[in-house]
Amino acid sequence: MNLAIGTVDATILIAYLIGVVLLGVWIGRGRKDLSTYLLGGRDLPWWAILGSIVATETSTATFLSVPGIAFAQQGDLRFLQIAFGFLCGRIIVAFLLLPQYFQGELYSAYEVLEKRFGGATQRVASLMFLVARNLGDGLRLFLAGIAMEKVIGLDLHVCIALIGIATIIYTFFGGMKAVVWSDCIQFVVYVGGGILALLILVRSFPGGWSELVAFGEATGRLQLFDFRFLPAEGFSLWTEPFTFWAGLLGGTVLTLGTHGTDQMMVQRYLCARNQQQAALALILSGCVIVVQFALFLLLGIALACFYTKVSPQVFEYNDEVFATFIVEHLPVGLIGVTLAAVFAAAMSTLSSSLNSSASAAVNDIYQPRGKQKDDEASSALRLKLSRFLTILFGIVQIGVGIGASYISRSVVNDALAIAGFTAGILLGIFSLGILTKRTNQRGALIGILAGIAVLSYIKFGTSTAWTWYAIIGAVTTFTVGYGISVLFPNSSADSQEEVS
């Protein structure tokens, strides 16, 4: 094994991974009922849910690539405009969608669709979530495996399997409580790692913070807002992702989908003691995300200053800059801690994915709410199935990660973009159910197909910026679904689910 880091740092990293697994096993001791396994007994404090929300949406790709945005030649702080949209979206979710999830003892976000439209819509929405989630997170596992390969020197496939197996073990034994509490620890670890790296960078500058600020101003990297709207030479509102309008509107609608209709997030809200605590965790997580992205972007500016003035170096890929600095310039010991932060970001997302996938598969596809039995034997069977599916989805994600190693990076990025299509489409379906009374199941299903078709064309046939995808998907799904429902009211595809 050819270590890119020293024995001390490798030991810290490996000890961290083992510690997370043991924590999950310890937390999961005696967990025998389905509600505790999938929803933490619906008794988790709001601040733990807040930490879990933020850690779950922060993957290794985020931790390493967001600094690369500000590091780039024309990089700046404009990415934060999207984070402002993320905050606005959470506020809307808290007031519009959360009440839907606290009506009854729900296990899955898509049970709401079953009550409104019928079982077919519930199953299709849940299947969309399962395919997109396991494809996307399998590819994120691949990216985490690349990071481990670079620093430890093991074969890439072995690295992917190691991270995947470690995540499977503590999720299998600990259930949702292990996921949430591990997320909180991992949040502290990766934010602490980022802050430490920033402080070390600033100390390397002769002028300290003032030199960093002067560099940012001189290179235009401190620009935060871009209010351009009208077309101009070299600029189009539809192709530039980092404008105020694309960031605020696109970020808001994207968050309505990812945090309002995605089972991985909704499952966290259902773990709260009540709706008020869930709303508090959700809204405050938006504030934390803004601060977190500001930290990552500031890191990118500091890295640009470092590799321009202190240690001049040219990089082929901006995403490699932070990882390179960690391995080559951090002191012994801190390298291991910061690399642990990288894998903390990966494992928090992957563990959440496994648990929410198992929950959706059991409660939406295997045994929807109307067919569930309340007896102890049925609950025990669903618990066993949930544990089995946790392993199965873990193996699927490892397989996707290994398969991605044979695909070019550009194809991987395209696949990740396709996986994100579900946010807008599911938002369109939920909007049909909540905001209208004339829609039916036929309209909902055709709306989903229309959303997929239009977004596929937008992605592969145009140069439209990704920040508009969620808006386009939601509007298409809603418009087509509503139109079909009006043209074909009370069709044979629908039954008693129609709202009176």
- Average pLDDT, rounded, for the chain: 83
Lowest mean pLDDT among 63-72, 182-191, 224-233, 458-467: 224-233
Mean pLDDT score, 300-307: 94
Rounded Cα–Cα distance for residues 192 and 154 (Å) = 26
Q: Which residues pair with 44 in a beta bridge?
A: 272
Tell me, what's the pLDDT at 209? Answer: 93
Regarding the domain delimited by 7-408, which CATH topology (the fold level of the hierarchy) does it fall under?
A: Sodium/glucose cotransporter (1.20.1730)
Q: C-alpha angle 303/309/315, rounded to 5°?
A: 50
Q: Which residues contact residue 314 at a Cβ distance below 8 angstroms, ignoring those fewer than 6 apart?
A: none
Query: Torsion angle, CA of 413/479/125/274, rounded to 10 degrees?
Result: 100
Lowest mean pLDDT among 6-20, 41-55, 81-95, 428-442: 6-20
Rounded Cα–Cα distance for residues 259 and 87 (Å) = 11
3-state secondary structure of 220: coil
pLDDT tens string 158-183? 989 988 998 888 788 877 887 888 88
Tell me, what's the pLDDT at 1? Answer: 45
Q: Where are the beta strands (DSSP E) in 235-369?
A: none
Rg (CA), the chain: 23
Rounded Cα–Cα distance for residues 205 and 309 (Å) = 8
The separation between CA 290 and the C-alpha centre of its own chain, rounded to angstroms, equals 15
> Which position has the higher pLDDT, 490 or 186?
186
% the chain with pLDDT above 90:
28
Q: 37-51, 219-233, 441-455, 483-497: which has the highest mean pLDDT? A: 441-455
pLDDT tens string 388-438? 999 999 999 999 989 888 875 544 455 556 666 788 898 899 888 888 888
Domain ranges of the chain: 7-408, 420-500
The separation between CA 410 and the C-alpha centre of its own chain, rounded to angstroms, equals 20
Nearest in space to 281 (alpha carbons), one of 200, 211, 183: 183
pLDDT exceeds 50 at position 498: no
Rounded Cα–Cα distance for residues 138 and 140 (Å) = 5
Nearest in space to 354 (alpha carbons), one of 133, 187, 183, 141: 133
Tell me, what's the pLDDT at 23? Answer: 79
Rounded Cα–Cα distance for residues 120 and 133 (Å) = 20
Q: Give whole-number Cα distances, 426 to 65, 86, 122, 178, 364, in Å.
A: 27, 17, 11, 28, 15
Q: Which residues contact residue 20 at a Cβ distance below 8 angstroms, ignoring those fewer than 6 apart?
A: 166, 170, 182, 185, 186, 347
Q: What type of residue sits at position 54?
A: V
pLDDT exceeds 80 at position 150: no
63 CB neighbour count, 10 Å cutoff: 27
Helix 156-203 to helix 321-329 angle (10° resolution) is 80
